[in-house]
Amino acid sequence: MIPIRKIATLFALLFMALPQIKAQEPATALPPNVCKLENGNLVFYIDLRWTEKQKKELEVQFDLDSLLIAEVYNGKTAINTDNEQWVVQRVNKHTVALRKPMEKGSFVTNLLTAIFAEHSLSSDGRPGYVDKPVAFGANAFRNSTVIIGADNVVTFLLLGNTNAQQVYLSGSFNNWSTMQTPMSKLESGWGIKIKLEPGKYYYKFIVDGNWKHDYGNLLREDDGNGGYNSVLFVPNYTFKLQGNTSANKVYLSGTFNGWSHTGNPMRKTDTGWELPVYLNDGMHEYKFIVDGNWITDPQNQKLKQNEHNSYNSVLTIGKSTKFTLSNHQKAKTVYLAGSFNGWNPTGIPMQKVDAGWTIEQYLPAGNHEYKFVVDGNWITDPNNTLTAKDGPHTNSLLCVNPNHTFQLEGFSNAQSVVVTGSFCGWNRTKYTMTNKNGKWTLTLHLPKGKHTYKFIVDGEWIHDPNNKLYEVNEHNSLNSIIWIE
């Protein structure tokens, strides 16, 4: 027989997974995606800042033992209740994962797996969070429900709903807290001001317990629960075209939006046209389309010739990276080629100097592979000991804005250690670690969100013995987990 508590949990999860008749979520004090099925484990993501009301909602909605929830907040890492073994693992500063394995082959496990698979709930990443690099974004509002002011102070407005008793703003910027960001009542609705760094964010309004996306915002994405999250880009650059005030339509087009003809219309001002955008670090080419005519930016003197024998305006964001190749003064041509330019062997010519060859490039945050092409011969950077393997090829490795260092101790006699994981498609040869005084290390840039990984020590796959956060994979072994905020 299936225990009553398991049946109750099953129906709670079944209700969560089924599409809702209404466009908005049912009233609840909990954020979406509290409970998930990950690799055969039932997992509850619990915010340690939740109120007593939210704890009670967790208990009631999922039929969890109140003692179990209390032990989580008491800091226990292993809990035994109702003859079930639960493990508590730290996810980030404010969140823990309460998990237990489901019985293999059981009715509950098989049905839950089918439900969650049907609705594409992935164990990698988190719905409602920006877990991938963002290259470009521009807002599109039906009306002014979000106003971005000086110093990135953002005003959120919810128009109407004047009869509501309480309205909260919830989103990826406050870890989808249901109580942390109350909005103030205005004559026309509700409002609040918060400061946000440039980037992409998801958000919703909670009106008397009912979740609503921003109907004044044309940008929205599936929230994984049959509804939508509104999307906001806090800009770090504003494109401006002076004059042309008699034009009917002006569009921004460039490498960042696939040279779209109509994707990003600019807004008319008293002196011309403008469009605030978010752009990642790097070099970007662009043009303006004025009533169908493509023109470069008259206020920008940086130009680059294109394949149509005309020119594109060039914009650089962030800091430059200097590549240097010593010697080879007798070479006729030296080019820089890498993953950042599609390995074009003649796309980036280097400049000859007294000590060799050099070039500056603007690259986005990430792990970039590259080589020098000297008179047609491809060579790695002799001054860079970091390498990455791409099949049979070994390339030099450059990490821009590194944010995580992998470390493995206790294997000082190993001949080779590779780190691999979801961030590189589980490539078993790409990232070889360096042995420094008996400790193997490698520093990389990882996108925001969840990453699973392992070490390969002389051909043997092991999880990270110094990381207590892990999950069971499809091979019934363990993958270590890290979260990048």
* Max CA separation in the chain (angstroms): 81
Closest CA to 57 of 78, 29, 35: 29
pLDDT band at 473 (very low <50, low <70, confident <90, very high): confident
Nearest residue to 77 (alpha-carbon basis) of 69, 85, 87, 68: 87
pLDDT at 19: 40
pLDDT for 104 beyond 50: no
Mean per-residue pLDDT for 302-317?
94
Closest CA to 209 of 179, 176, 173: 179
Domains and CATH numbers, the chain: 4-118 (no CATH), 136-234 (2.60.40.10), 237-317 (2.60.40.10), 320-400 (2.60.40.10), 404-484 (2.60.40.10)
pLDDT of res. 144: 87
CA distance 318 to 370: 20
**Residue 118 pLDDT greater than 60, yes or no:** no
Lowest mean pLDDT among 84-88, 290-294, 414-418, 429-433: 84-88
Lowest-pLDDT range of 11-20, 221-230, 262-271, 415-424: 11-20
Residues of the chain above pLDDT 70, percent = 87
Torsion 46-130-473-408 (CA) sign? negative
Helix (H, G, I), strand (E, B) or coil at 269: coil
Gap between the Cα atoms of 101 and 37, Å rounded:
9
Note the pLDDT of residue 186: 95
With beta carbons less than 8 A apart as the criterion, state whether 230 and 223 touch: no
- pLDDT higher than 80, residue 138: yes
Q: Is-contact 394 429, C-beta < 8 A?
A: no
Alpha helices for 209-298 (secondary structure H): none
User: Does pTM top 0.75 for this prediction?
Assistant: no
What is the band of 300 on the pLDDT scale with cuts at 50, 70, 90?
very high
- Cβ neighbours, 10 Å, residue 10: 18
